[in-house]
């Protein structure tokens, strides 16, 4: 056998996807399978390509670890269909498997498929957080270089970054209605604004921006072909000092990046233990009605960042992860 080729002349490949569920269920319970395979299961196997089928906005959950990133397009996604754990509510099982089979059939023509991984979304399994065991995961992320360039051009270096995670969905029970009041209070604190850079992070339609546009906002960054919304978020977190927000994916990713968190919500154990695999410092305020006083929240936030400063843990300097994946230096094609 010629090195890198199967007996039939095809190259080897691992397929991942389609992934149709929620952001953190992908970033924290599925995508970490890829760096584990590269570093453990298929270590030193340069004859294996990794092909991913996911939403384009999430490409950088796999980033430079992937060889081919394939955009997943489903009519009605985030409109009439809504992600729920591992599944997409409204997408029939037969449609889901049709997407998976079409993906495999397409790449089977060019590659010898070693493995095809995609979640079980049947009843009872789509909510199973342990479909993939943590021992088979590495929580490592390598966003493509374009994401770092865009973030560095938009957000100046020099001051510690505080990430604000104002998750807010129409009709969602877990919305905090006091985000605008919080922004107004923060804007009056010129001392904090002088010392820290506050960045509002979220996805259009799923977060609460400042209506007066007074803070940096990740959605203002104009994406390029080799960047993604998630890639921008991960590049920001790599430079961040602290995160504040309601329980959601962004505080969860912050914990994975070792960024201290002040979070509020109704699932304390889940967000402080289950999701906190690196034991990152987190303060969780139980607020089942999502009615916390914004003035008190700002006070708690200031106390925590001052305490972190006092203990000598300062800004994470901007750096590139170009050296993280030495075997994946090419631009990830989408084909």
Q: Give residue-wise pLDDT tens across range 232-277.
A: 999 999 999 999 999 999 999 999 999 999 999 999 998 999 889 9
Task: Specify the 3-state DSSP secondary structure of 113.
Answer: strand
pLDDT given for residue 7 in this prediction: 52
**pLDDT confidence of residue 314:** 47
Grouping H, G, I as helix, E, B as strand and the rest as coil, residue 62 is coil
Q: Of 320, 140, 147, nearest to 226 (Cα)?
A: 147
167 & 292 share domain = yes
- Across the range 152-166, mean pLDDT stands at 94
Given this model, what pLDDT does residue 317 score? Answer: 38
Stretch 9-13: mean pLDDT: 90
**Residue 312 pLDDT:** 63
Average pLDDT over residues 289-303: 96
Structure token pair of residue 172: 């969602």
* CA dist., res. 246 & res. 173, Å (int): 12
Q: Is the pLDDT of residue 109 over 60?
A: yes
Residue where one domain finishes, among candidates 138, 168, 189: 138
Taking the C-alpha atoms of residue 210 and residue 161, their distance in angstroms, rounded to an integer, is 17
Can you give the pLDDT at residue 333? 53
- β 111-117/197-200 pair status: unpaired
pLDDT confidence band for 169 (50 / 70 / 90) = confident
Last residue of a domain, one of 105, 138, 171: 138
Query: 282 pairs with which residues across the strands?
Result: 261
Whole-number Å distance between alpha carbons of 333 and 70: 8
Indicate whether 234 and 110 sit together in one domain: no
- Among 118, 138, 158, the domain-final residue is 138
**3-class secondary-structure state, position 282:** strand
Intra-chain end-to-end CA distance of the chain, in Å: 27
If one counts the domains in the chain, the total is 2
55: helix, strand or coil:
coil
Domain range for residue 16?
11-138
Residue 129 structure tokens: 């957080």
- Edge-to-edge strand list for the sheet holding 68-71: 68-71, 48-54, 11-16, 111-117
> 158 and 83, same structural domain?
no
Task: Please provide the average confidence, as pLDDT, over all residues in the chain.
Answer: 90
- Whether 72 is covered by a domain: the verdict is yes
- Could you tell me the pTM of the whole model? 0.88
pLDDT tens digits, 91-105: 999 999 999 999 999
pLDDT in tens, 49-59: 999 999 999 99
Q: Are 240 and 159 in contact (CB under 8 A)?
A: no
Structure tokens at 315: 């800004």
Tell me: do 58 and 154 sit in the same domain. Answer: no
């Amino acid at each position: 056998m010629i090195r890198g080729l199967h007996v039939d002349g095809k190259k080897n490949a691992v397929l991942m996807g389609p992934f149709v569920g929620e952001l953190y269920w992908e970033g924290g319970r599925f995508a970490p399978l890829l760096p584990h395979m590269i570093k453990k299961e298929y270590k030193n196997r340069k004859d294996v390509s990794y092909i991913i089928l996911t939403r384009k906005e999430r490409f950088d959950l796999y980033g430079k670890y992937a060889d081919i990133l394939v955009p997943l397009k489903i009519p009605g996604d985030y409109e009439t269909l809504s992600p729920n754990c591992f599944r997409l509510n409204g997408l029939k099982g037969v449609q889901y498997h049709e997407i998976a089979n079409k993906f495999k059939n397409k790449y089977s023509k060019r590659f010898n498929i070693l493995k095809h991984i995609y979640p079980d979304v049947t009843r009872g399994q789509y909510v199973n957080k342990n479909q993939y065991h943590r021992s088979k995961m590495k929580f490592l992320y390598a966003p493509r270089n374009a994401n770092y360039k865009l973030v560095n051009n938009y957000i100046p270096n020099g001051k510690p970054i505080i990430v604000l995670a104002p998750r807010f969905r129409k009709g969602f029970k877990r919305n905090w209605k006091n985000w605008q009041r919080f922004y107004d209070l923060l804007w009056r604190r010129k001392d904090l604004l002088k010392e820290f850079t506050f960045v509002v992070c979220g996805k259009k339609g799923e977060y609460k921006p400042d209506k007066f546009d007074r803070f940096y906002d990740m959605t203002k960054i104009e994406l390029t072909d080799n960047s993604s919304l998630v890639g921008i978020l991960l590049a920001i977190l790599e430079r961040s000092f602290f995160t504040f927000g309601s329980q959601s994916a962004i505080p969860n990713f912050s914990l994975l990046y070792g960024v201290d968190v002040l979070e509020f919500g109704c699932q304390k154990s889940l967000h402080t233990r289950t999701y906190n695999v690196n034991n990152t410092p987190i303060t969780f305020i139980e607020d089942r009605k999502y009615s916390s006083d914004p003035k008190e929240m700002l006070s708690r936030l200031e106390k925590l960042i001052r305490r972190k400063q006092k203990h000598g843990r300062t800004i994470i300097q901007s750096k590139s992860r170009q050296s993280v994946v030495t075997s994946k230096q090419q631009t990830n094609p989408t084909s």
